[in-house]
Every structure is written in structure tokens, then in C-alpha cells.
Amino acid sequence: MKFSTSKTELLQALQKVSKASPTRSTLPILSCVLVDATENKTTLRATDLELTIQVAVSVSLEEPGSVALPLKTLMDITNELPETRLTLTADDKNKLEIQTESGIYDLMGKPAFEFPEMPENTKTGSVKSDSKTLKQIIETTLFAVSKDELKPALSGVLFRFSSSVLTAVSTDGHRLVKHTQKNIDEPNYVGDIIIPRKFLSFISTQLRSDALTLEIGDTHLTAAIHNDMIITRLIDEKFPDYENVIPKDNENVLTIDKNMFLGAIKRVSIFSNKSTHQIALNLSDESSKITTEDPEQSSRAQEVIVGEYIGENLEIGYNSEYLKDVVQHVKGNKIVVRLNTPISAALFSPETNEETSESLMLLMPIRLND
């Protein structure tokens, strides 16, 4: 195998595929990137066996071939090189030579056949979406995905497709987000899939302005973005019945400016306990405030918040980190918070939803210390 390419072209491709490379693995081959140079195209591919990213690279090909190379080493040397033309040559013993105008760098690779095959995705349907809409859905839901490996069903976002409506739901047991999108092209797929966080996080950074087609299979999901192919294994679990946990009787209502509310939460939370992050909302129709107290550090804070509150006097505790996350991700300038009791979930939504989409966020309270 022998080809030449620019430092920038190679580095950008390596940085992309590195997002699929595992941080730790019992399989050494997964720390490699597969370089496959053919007459048609040259690609780089990395995988953690759940997510696979393949990126096409523009090269001047002299001799086709393929080899699996240590990804981190290749990326490190490419990153440190000045902007220049690189020639990569691999021999039949999988030894790679990188040659520039001023240097020669050798590293040992592995046979290409040891690298995992591209996952087969038996297509059962497809969904077309414009990039802006999909990016908005991901940004609205991804923050509430669970990081708990013992809850695999919650480690991705539920995408529920019906005839012309997409409902995306994420939850970690403390927070829940439900986003309804009404303007999607009629899909030739109806049903539920749970898409892993890692796939959504990556493609959200790659989406530009054009439309995107998601190819849905029995076990995998494929997205083609420009000349890149991204494939993920779907989460084969049953998502919780989220509709049953969304309260219908929250009649205490706070309407408040989003930035003012968020600023007050951030300032007061500085003085909260560093392990519980506990703050309290004290709500009444006369005056409302956010308070916190940390006896361990002899610190406390309170700040009056100006908004319209209609309902019973209420004191309710929250983890300030979760509360900040929820408030930050509500769209618009004003937030409506619907509450019931100090031990029941609150609902957060924009004062006005867009015509084609609707977002609702749920946050569980925490019990206040006496």
C-alpha cells in the first residue's frame, strides 16, 4: 500500500474516526484504525464494536492495500507535523513508513484481516430528516440520557416514529425529556428504536445544512453524512412507559424569565453542599426565592426571583445541577414550571412552543434536610 495526502486531510479523518475508538478494551485490535486504499477510494475506519465510523480521504494512490495501524500513535505524529504532504507506505509485513520532506517515521501495524468487518445492516426502513431538525432533537434530549451502565435501556434516546410525528424521549430516572416533532417527512418506518448516546453525540457535531437519511435495520442504524458512514448497534431493550410518569395534575404554575431564573440558580448553588447540591424553591404569590444552606461549610445564600406564581405556597428541593441542566435546555425566553407537591415531579416547558415541535421536561425533587 502506498499513497500520499495532506497532513490536514489525514488528521481530520483520524480525529473523526477516533470518536469510535474505545478508551479501554480487552481486544488490542480495537485500538487500531483500518486504512483501506483501493482504486475507487481510500477510507479510514475505527470501531468499538458498538459504534463504527468510516471516513473517506482524498489521496494520490500509487499502490492499493490495507493495514490496521495504532490510531493514537498515527494521530499524535500527524498532529505534530507541520502542514506538509505525507507519503504513507505499508509493506507486506504491515510495517508503515510515513515520509515527509524532513523526516521518516516507522510504526508497526497489524494485518487488515484481524480488524472487525463492517457491520451488516439489514434495512427494514428509513427516515429522512433535515439536519437542523435532527440537531435540535439531539441537543434537547441528550443531556438527560443516563450514564449508568446498569440501566442499558436508558443509555440512549427513544425515537418513536408514527405516520408523520417523531417523539424523542430520554431519561436518567431523575430527569425526563419528551420532544415531539411534527414536520418530519413521512417515514417508511413506524415503531420504536433506542439510539445510543455515543452515536447521537457524534453525528450532532457532523450535521451541516443538508438532509440526512437514517437507514434502520433489525439491529443497527446507519447514517451517511457526506462521504462518511456511521453505523451503530441499536439498544435492544424495552424503554420505560414514560407517559405514566408525566403528571397531569400540576396546578401550581410559575412563569419566569429563563436567563434571570438560570442566573439565580447558578449564583445560589455556589453555596450549596458539594455532594448533595441541594437548593430550595420557596414559592408564593407574594414573593418567591431560591435558598440553600450548607452547615458543613457554614455557608448559605438566598435570592429573590421575580416571576408570576399562581398556586399554593410551596417549598420544594432540587439538585441544583439537574435544575440548571433542565432550565438551560428549555427553548425561548420564558419558562413555565408546573408543580404539585414537594415530593412530586415538576414540568418545565417554554411559554410558547413552536408550531412544528413541542418540548416537555420533567424533574424529580429531592427531600429537603430539616
> Residues 80-117: pLDDT tens digits?
999 999 999 999 999 999 999 999 999 999 999 999 99
Torsion of CA 62, 67, 71, 77, to 10 degrees: -40
Distance CA 19, CA 198 (A): 8
pLDDT for 236: 96
**pTM of this structure:** 0.93
Q: Which residues of 154-176 are buried (b: 16+ CB within 10 A; e: fewer)?
A: bbbbbbbbeeeebbbbbbbebbb
Band of pLDDT at residue 328, cut at 50, 70 and 90:
very high
* Average pLDDT over all residues of the chain: 94
Distance CA 17, CA 57 (A): 12
pLDDT for 370: 63
User: Looking at domain 2-114, which of 3.40.50.1980, 3.10.150.10, 3.40.50.11540, 1.25.40.340 is its CATH number?
Assistant: 3.10.150.10
> Residues 262-318: pLDDT tens digits?
999 999 999 999 999 999 999 999 999 999 999 888 899 999 999 999 999 999 999
Q: Which residues of 188-213 are buried (b: 16+ CB within 10 A; e: fewer)?
A: eeeeebbbbbbbbebbbebbeeeebe
Q: What is the mean pLDDT of residues 340-353?
A: 95
Q: Give the CA angle between residues 204, 170, 149 to the nearest 5°.
A: 90
Instruction: Quote the cell numbers at residue 53.
Output: 465510523
246-363 CATH fold: DNA Polymerase III; Chain A, domain 2 (3.10.150)
Among candidate residues 301, 353, 319, the one with its CA nearest the CA of residue 181: 353
The two domains 2-114 and 123-242 share their CATH topology (first three levels equal): yes
CA 245, distance to chain mean position in Å, is 23
For the chain, domain boundaries? 2-114, 123-242, 246-363
The CATH-assigned architecture of domain 123-242 is Roll (3.10)
